[in-house]
Chains A and B, each alone.
Chain A
């Protein structure tokens, strides 16, 4: 019997996925805590750099809209070198997925299931996400589109509640540039790597979009909107908690939510909100997972579904690399970002330069 015949995705799905993906686990962390109350400045700079990166990724795509990330490298850098780079991207994506998995597990043990062992929660998570990956990119993107109304409504509700119950102290944003520009510059680089530069993953998905050449502005607009949203919510943590608590808290946003109190009934909304956070986190993990699986499929030619279980086991194993959560956060927010930037900036830039040198852009798509 006929299955879903098309594996193409449409622009609304792409936009929805970018939004969910960027929100992902970002709201979990205190981004730019080094810059203290100037985190918004650091984040804005990082988001602008991320915008340039997004434009670079789009430029790469428009230069050769037929090939995805892995095929591009293998085509322009030669089969051997391209395969090595593609494999390193697979490892990178898989590692990002494992990081998100750990986030999810830690969050669950912290808020929902204090006594359940971490490895069981993460096993369940990796099974649920792996099941999603099994359906392929199209179903993942459709799922994002189905989830996006819930996400938007709940974040809107949350924002209204935080502002409406008078928790925000706007004067906390002062003094601007208390310690000069230096802490801001220091904070910016990791923010580029997480979350904004992670958009490099979408080089895998762009060629699946049905309406070729029609999605540059939707992508850019959704990127800008989601960046603004992240900056506002991140800054809200500072404005509510003050920079000292915000810096020390494990999951500051949840602490903010716990402060909300309306008519006795809605007291512990953080528990409910964790579920909303999970959706973003799960989507992010699934997207990286699909990216890695697609890479393996493109490199080896073996079907996507066959890679889900082996890679799932690897991601599951990799998520135990950090002995504890503090180490995990330190690794992700301070140690590794520079390495991530290789994948997010250096490699795509290299690819783009080589593509320019090739000088034979795909003429078939020029006319459109």
Chain B
């Protein structure tokens, strides 16, 4: 604990340092560029080095263009070079503000002047072309980034039956565009940060002005700005840095690769954090019950949705408690079982060598191994693993008398129940806690389960996500927010936004009037 307290202090000290050296490990980034072409080129050569994909192309002895091969769009590059060659003669007449002049002759948007080495390097490394003209101070950056991109596809981790089939990609600008397409409001704000000394990763904070809680935003920016790390390769890095509590199995942020889910969340006053290079976008602040909601909930009928949500919560409890309850009941509280069930269980367990606790632990660990293998293994071996998993470890183990049939059923049902949760994070938390509960149940029976469940509840209740209590709207009670938790009321009754998250602009819609009331009455 003390280590982490100390690191908080250093975070604050680091903050000032980070702001000073925004651009990587070198010191002379702030140096201004000279007006000599050869000087600028030699600086670039020395800084980027002899990488084969770094290209400096001199057009005559007055102009040079520099870029990284794989990061630029070839078509736009040739347009740029064409325009530069055609306009060659005019360059001698430029005196100041060459960027403005270039804008009039180059048919490409995104032209800026760069005056320092640092800006120049950033531009080149993020896929822009740099035009340097001899005799003019500074350089001009032209945004022609392109290169390899994955197209927008259906999200693989969160599928729906009804709803949009598009998912985020690795490209942050594409992702923002996907979101802009859904929320055509000028109030949609996108604030950029660059995090990671080596990766220089673009991180965008997205929210709707007037809906998002300014306190949450302030806190988020403070936390984001205090990150000083060498790399951010996925939004998981950011999540771990900015979460409220480090020691908790429960996630305090949701990640999703569905633009429609993000749009819905933004409309409820939440804030999204998008990281370049990953389709998983973080949403905050969240409450416990958000993890049991899917974006599809709002596209389906409300009664079906409410039923499904109850099923999900039920599955959550099954995934958490079923193995431990089985252990507790078969080991300590056999009297709870109806006689016929007890006899059949006893008959099954007669031949098995292990006590229920060990048997359950063995099976659960086996399942976790199969599952991990299923994720990691090469796709082609998939069928082999499923045969081994289903037949050998399931049926054959029972037939061989190693485990009881009831235990296989319990473990399988637990496993399937843990996949019902729409959010994978919460399912992982449950996986972890389950083992602790099983141990307690094996030693203390039902009493042990309670002794394990109470600290979990207390912990969950004590959590908060960016200042929003985790267990709202149940504790603390926010009566009006109950409309979208365990059940979902019809859209016409969702008149207000969740008040624990959105503090301003609470009204969501006016009272719905059916215009054709008379015709309906018939």
A contact residues vs B (CB 8 Å cutoff)? 1-5, 10, 12-13, 108, 112-113, 116, 121, 124-125, 128, 131-132, 135, 139-140, 142-147, 149, 264-265, 267-268, 271-272, 274-275, 278-279, 282
Contacts and interface: CB of A to CB of B under 8 A. Distances in A.
Q: Describe B's contact surface by its main secondary structure.
A: helix
Interface residues of B, number: 33
A2 B467 contact: yes
Contacts of A1: 8, 223, 244-245
A309 to B, nearest CB: 15
B476 A5 contact: no
B453 to A, nearest CB: 9
A13 B477 contact: yes
Contacts of B332: 112-113
28 contacts: A1-B223, A1-B244, A1-B245, A2-B219, A2-B467, A4-B464, A10-B476, A12-B477, A13-B476, A112-B333, A112-B446, A113-B332, A116-B444, A124-B444, A139-B458, A142-B469, A142-B475, A143-B475, A145-B475, A145-B476, A145-B477, A149-B474, A265-B338, A267-B336, A271-B333, A271-B446, A272-B336, A278-B447
Nearest to A276: B450
A132 B458 contact: yes
Contacts of A112: 332-333, 445-447
A275 B444 contact: no
A155 to B, nearest CB: 17
Nearest to A107: B447
B455 interface: yes
A289 to B, nearest CB: 13
Given A124-B444, A142-B461, A275 B450 contact: yes
B461 A10 contact: no
B467 A12 contact: no
B335 A268 contact: yes
Contacts of A142: 461-462, 469, 471, 475-476
A113 B443 CA distance: 10
A257 to B, nearest CB: 12
A46 B287 CA distance: 43
Interface string B444-470: 111110110011011001101011010
A162 B482 CA distance: 31
A156 B180 CA distance: 51
B458 A267 contact: no
Given A10-B477, A139-B462, A147 B336 contact: no
Given A108-B447, A268-B336, A282-B454, A2 B244 contact: yes
Contacts of A140: 458
Nearest to B466: A2
Given A125-B451, A272-B336, A143 B461 contact: yes
A149 B447 CA distance: 21
Given A112-B447, A143-B461, A147-B457, 6 more contacts: A108-B447, A113-B444, A146-B461, A267-B338, A271-B446, A282-B454
A338 to B, nearest CB: 34
Contacts of B446: 112, 271, 274-275
A149 B486 CA distance: 13
Contacts of B461: 139, 142-143, 146
A288 B451 CA distance: 19
A42 to B, nearest CB: 33
Contacts of A5: 467
A125 B448 CA distance: 10
B241 to A, nearest CB: 10
Given A145-B476, A264-B338, A275-B446, A131 B244 contact: no
A310 B467 CA distance: 31
B454 A12 contact: no
B458 A143 contact: yes
A210 B192 CA distance: 38
Contact of A146 (B339, B444, B457): B457
Given A4-B462, A13-B475, A142-B469, A128 B333 contact: no
Nearest to A132: B458
A113 B445 contact: yes
Contacts of A268: 333, 335-336
A304 to B, nearest CB: 14
Contacts of B462: 4, 135, 139, 142
A144 B477 CA distance: 11
Interface string B417-451: 00000000000000000000000000011111011
B219 A128 contact: no
A12 B476 contact: yes
Interface string B335-364: 110110000000000000000000000000
Contacts of B454: 128, 132, 279, 282
Contacts of A146: 457, 461, 471, 474-475
Contacts of B339: 264
Nearest to A120: B444
Contacts of B466: 2
Contacts of B469: 4, 142
A145 B446 CA distance: 23
Nearest to A5: B467
* Shortest beta-carbon contacts, A-B, top 8: A145-B475, A12-B477, A142-B475, A146-B475, A142-B461, A139-B462, A132-B458, A135-B462
A158 B448 CA distance: 23
Contacts of B450: 275, 278-279
A148 B50 CA distance: 69
A113 B447 contact: yes
A199 B245 CA distance: 34
A271 B336 contact: yes
For A113, A125, A140, the residue with the greatest tally of chain B CB atoms inside 10 Å of its CB is A113
A201 to B, nearest CB: 19
Nearest to B477: A12
Contacts of B471: 142, 146
Interface string B177-196: 00000000000000000000
**Of listed B336, B448, B454, B457, residue having the most chain A CB within 10 A:** B454
A128 B455 CA distance: 7
A287 to B, nearest CB: 13
Nearest to A4: B464
Contacts of A132: 454-455, 458
A144 to B, nearest CB: 8
B271 to A, nearest CB: 15
B59 to A, nearest CB: 53
A161 to B, nearest CB: 16
A278 B447 CA distance: 9
A363 to B, nearest CB: 31
B258 to A, nearest CB: 28
Contacts of A3: 244, 464
A121 B440 CA distance: 12
Contacts of B445: 112-113
B244, B333, B462, B464, most chain A CB atoms within 10 A: B462
Contacts of B457: 143, 146-147
Nearest to A149: B474
A282 B444 CA distance: 17
Contacts of B455: 128, 131-132
Nearest to B242: A1
A274 B461 CA distance: 23
Nearest to A272: B336
Contacts of A131: 455, 458
Contact of A124 (B245, B451, B464): B451
